[in-house]
Structures are given as C-alpha cells and as structure tokens.
Structure 1
Amino acid sequence: MTTVETIERAIEQLPSEELAKLRRWFLEFDAAAWDAQIEADAAAGKFDALAEEALAEYRTGRAREM
C-alpha cells in the first residue's frame, strides 16, 4: 500500500469533526503552497512576457475596463 493509500484509508476513518479540521488545515496548506509557487515563478520571470503583453495592449489603447 502506498503512502497516499494509507492516508486515504485513515481519512475515511475520521469522525466528522476531525475531517472538518483536516479540511481547514489542508485548504490553508494548499493555499500557502500555491502562493509560494506563484512567488517563485514571478521571481524567475515566468510572467514577464505576459505582463509586457498586457502593458503593450494598455499603452496602445486595446485594453478595456472590467
């Protein structure tokens, strides 16, 4: 049995209060991991081309208000 399968089985056995606690923890954990990945990608310049494209459209008047 893999680690993930073991965790799945353990989660299936949790009482509802503990499951709710796990959900809250995981949402916070996942959001923090996502934020860290976005920050790393931004620092590595992975969004630079997209930002420049958006700015170019804005400068030429092709942007519109949302």
Structure 2
Amino acid sequence: MMKLEQIERSVASLSDEELKSFAEWFDELRWERWDHQMEGGVKAGRLDRLVADARAEIAAGKTKPL
C-alpha cells in the first residue's frame, strides 16, 4: 500500500473530533508552507513587478480606499 493511501485510510477512520483537530493542524501546515514560498518569492524578487505595478496604480489614482 502506498503512503498516501495509508494516510487517506487513517484520516477517513478519524472521529469527528479527531478530524476537526487534524483539519486545523493541516490548515496550519499548509499556511506555513505557503508563507515559506511567499518569503522565497519576495527574497528572489519575483514580486517586485507586482509591487511596482500596484504603486503605479496608486500614484495614478486608479485605486479606491478600503
């Protein structure tokens, strides 16, 4: 049996309370990984163009205050 299949079976057998706890943990793990990816993108300069575009739109008055 593959590791993913084992995980799927284990998750499917959790009680409602255990599933809720697992889901909270898993969501946190996903957000941590997303944060790490974003940090890498920022450090590598991959977001510089988006920031520049946003600043240009603000300066041109193309945005609305929230």
TM-score, length basis structure 1: 0.82
The gaps in structure 1 that reach 5 residues or longer are none
1:42 is aligned to 2:38: no
- In 2, Cα distance between the equivalents of 1:33 and 1:15? 26
Deviation at 1:47, TM superposition (A): 0.8
What is the total number of aligned residue pairs between the two structures? 66
The percent identity for this pair of structures is: 36
Whole-angstrom CA distance in 2 between matches of 1:18 and 1:62: 48
What is the Cα-based RMSD across aligned positions, in Å?
1.4
Partner SS state of residue 40, structure 1? helix
Which amino acid in 1 is paired with 2:49?
Answer: A
Task: Look up the match of 1:53.
Answer: 53
The correspondence of residues 1-66 of structure 1 with structure 2, limited to 5 A, is 1-66=1-66
CA 1:13–1:50 in structure 2 vs 1: closer, same or farther (change >3 Å)? same
* Aligned counterparts of 1:65 and 1:19: Cα–Cα separation in 2: 40
Superimposed CA distance per residue, residues 13-60 of structure 1 (whole angstroms, 9 cap, x where no aligned partner): 112222121111111111111111111111111110011111112222
TM-score (ref. length: structure 2): 0.82
Query: Residue type matched to 1:45 in 2?
Result: G
